[in-house]
Amino acid sequence: MLTRREALASMTLAAGAAVVPLACKRQQDAEIGTNFRYSLNTSTILGKSNGIERDIKIASQAGFDYIEVWIRDIEAYVNGGNTIGSLRGYTEANGLKIASAIGFAPWMTGGEEGFKQMEREMNLLAELGCPRIAAPPAGVDGSEALDLFEIGERYRKLLELGRKTGVMPQLEFWGASTALWHMGQVLMIIAASGDPDARILPDVYHMFRGGSDFNTLKMINGSLIDLFHINDYPADKARLEQNDADRVFPGEGAAPLSTILSDLHTMGGEKILSLELFNREYWEEDPLDIARTGLEKMKSAVNAAVNTK
């Protein structure tokens, strides 16, 4: 008798998602010799999105190991009369794991509501089997300088929630933020927290946009980074004029990707590279083509940075 997971997998295969061949391909990729795994952030295919199940299927068909989802899409799925259990089963049947989730709980601001929201979202993700959540500077207006010591204390409290729920918060900075835009600030917050479970979520675009030197990656212990947002930025537009929509495929811009990926590889520990783009021109194209092209560009960049040396 088929198990529930086997039955779901059979249904997915019948629908055209070649799960078994892709699983073999993923295993071959894992044997290449790098410590990188590949994830699709669903923002990359947002333009024609009609639900999280479609995004999962596309990530699987394209050959990704992981998918990075948004809290709003999970909530929309549940509000549509579905269960978290069914979403978890669908993800597993498609041969994927959920790497992380993006949410906007205002945990850095004063008061407790941000922590309450974060705990609700962490509990939701724990049920889904997602081990991480982004912890960005949502809700901080930047009118006053952040007290990085205080934010360190708040981040330590957030990590306590992570240990309680099993979903760990990754400290994220936004390059265009007027409050938390630089890797140096993030490392200060980590130091102020004094917590060995601290993790950061860097992003090629955000490092460039906020003026963080990519050589900073050489100073970081590998345990600080589980997941890294990979993308590229154009050379023909001033740094401070760029925004999220300017991101392009890895290797199609001016980012020093070989150096970045080499440093990530050298620092040790498995790293999930998550393709996060908001390019509106890509959104108009076939989402499966975009996902496949993105993965090909990611692997090409890794091969140039690591496997040819």
Give the tens place of pLDDT for each residue, 104-134: 999 999 789 999 999 999 999 999 999 999 9
Q: How confident is the model at residue 143 (pLDDT cuts 50, 70, 90)?
A: confident
Classify residue 83 as exposed, middle or buried by CB count within 10 Å of its CB (0-12, 13-18, 19+). Answer: exposed
Classify residue 227 as exposed, middle or buried by CB count within 10 Å of its CB (0-12, 13-18, 19+). Answer: buried
What is the phi/psi pair of residue 216, to 5°?
-55, -30
Domain ranges of the chain: 4-307
Which CATH architecture does the domain made up of 4-307 adopt?
A: Alpha-Beta Barrel (3.20)
Sheet with 132-135: strands ordered across: 200-201, 168-172, 132-135, 97-102, 66-70, 36-41, 271-275, 227-230
The mean pLDDT value for 81-104 works out to 98
The mean pLDDT value for 30-34 works out to 48
Q: CA-to-CA distance for 179 and 127, rounded, in angstroms? A: 32
Residue 5 has pLDDT above 60, yes or no: no
Q: How confident is the model at residue 142 (pLDDT cuts 50, 70, 90)?
A: confident
Residue 83 has pLDDT above 90, yes or no: yes
How wide is the angle at C-alpha 71 spanned by C-alphas 67 and 72, nearest 5°?
Answer: 115
Residue 4 has pLDDT above 60, yes or no: no
Q: Are 13 and 23 in contact (CB under 8 A)?
A: no
Q: Please name the residue ranges forming H helices in 166-233.
A: 183-193, 204-209
For residue 278, what are the CA distances in angstroms to 46, 48, 119, 206, 265? 8, 12, 27, 13, 26
- Residues 274-285: pLDDT tens digits? 999 999 999 999
Q: How confident is the model at residue 308 (pLDDT cuts 50, 70, 90)?
A: low
Q: CA-to-CA distance for 134 and 43, rounded, in angstroms? A: 14
Confidence (pLDDT) at 38: 98
- Residues 244-262: pLDDT tens digits? 999 999 999 999 999 999 9
What angle, rounded to 10 degrees, do the helices at 52-62 and 287-302 form?
A: 50
The mean pLDDT value for 132-159 works out to 95
How wide is the angle at C-alpha 71 spanned by C-alphas 66 and 72, nearest 5°?
Answer: 125
Residue length, the chain?
Answer: 309
Task: Mention every residue, 6+ apart, whose C-beta is less than 8 A from residue 14.
Answer: none
Counting runs of H as helices and runs of E as strands, what totals does the chain give?
A: 12, 8
- Residues 204-217: pLDDT tens digits? 999 999 999 999 99
Confidence (pLDDT) at 277: 98
Confidence (pLDDT) at 177: 97
Percent of the chain residues past pLDDT 90, beyond the cut: 83
Mean of the per-residue pLDDT values for the chain? 90
Q: How confident is the model at residue 203 (pLDDT cuts 50, 70, 90)?
A: very high
